[in-house]
Chain A
């Protein structure tokens, strides 16, 4: 079993839809959870950052962490064509220096 599992998609939705992206993980030591957005041939951009369990909201984006289930989610409300990108989850434990990435989910939002 890999440390971080993420469905690569692709996921296609119409403009205005609510998008749900998620990752599962196996290492209970993970404390820091991130979502990165990556456009084609560009570097990943930090979108959301969460420490431990709970929810975090930033505009149209909501990140949720459920440590008891080892499950994290990213919700995008009112999706826009500009949200079309690959979304990578990433996580690390308290003492580590290396982020463990999921494979990334490719999202396409059509107008």
Chain B
């Protein structure tokens, strides 16, 4: 099983809403990632959790708040987003700290109105 499952697949939210994106993997991977991808651009790294601890935060605005409840789950809490935050949000996982082989989920297509 090389599956990373993301929910929801699509999300429309207003700028005052609070919502959460969820990600799950059962491959025993110990590193999990959030990426943001705009149309026709490569994925941009947002956060990395390694062994359930936040190891990288790529200067992401505080309106994005990651959470790793356990080694299989990763959440991204959203609050007071801006229209420019509309993008495909991708979760990924890898075996360990040195994330060579990343396995991506299908993503959540987020639209902020």
14 contacts between A and B (CB under 8 A): A34-B101, A34-B102, A41-B88, A41-B107, A43-B104, A46-B102, A90-B102, A97-B48, A97-B50, A97-B99, A99-B45, A99-B100, A101-B42, A104-B42
The 8 Å CB contact of A88, one of B4, B42, B45, is B42
Contact, CB under 8 Å: B31 / A97:
yes
Near B by CB (< 8 A), chain A positions 62-104 give 88, 90, 92, 94-99, 101-104
Could you tell me the distance between the alpha carbons of A42 and B31 in the complex, rounded to whole angstroms?
Answer: 21
Q: How many residues of chain B have a CB within 8 Å of chain A?
A: 27
Could you tell me the distance between the alpha carbons of A71 and B20 in the complex, rounded to whole angstroms?
Answer: 40
> What is the distance, in angstroms, from B8's C-beta to the closest C-beta of chain A?
14
Could you tell me the distance between the alpha carbons of A7 and B68 in the complex, rounded to whole angstroms?
Answer: 36
A32 CB within 8 Å of chain B: yes
Interface range on chain A: under 10, 10 to 19, 20 to 34, or 35 or more?
A: 20 to 34
Interface residues of B (CB under 8 A from A): 4, 6, 31, 40-43, 45, 48, 50, 55-56, 88, 90, 92, 97-107, 109
Interface residues of A (CB under 8 A from B): 8, 32, 34, 36, 41-46, 49, 51, 88, 90, 92, 94-99, 101-104
Query: In this complex, what residue of B is CB-closest to A95?
Result: B98
Query: In this complex, what residue of B is CB-closest to A6?
Result: B42
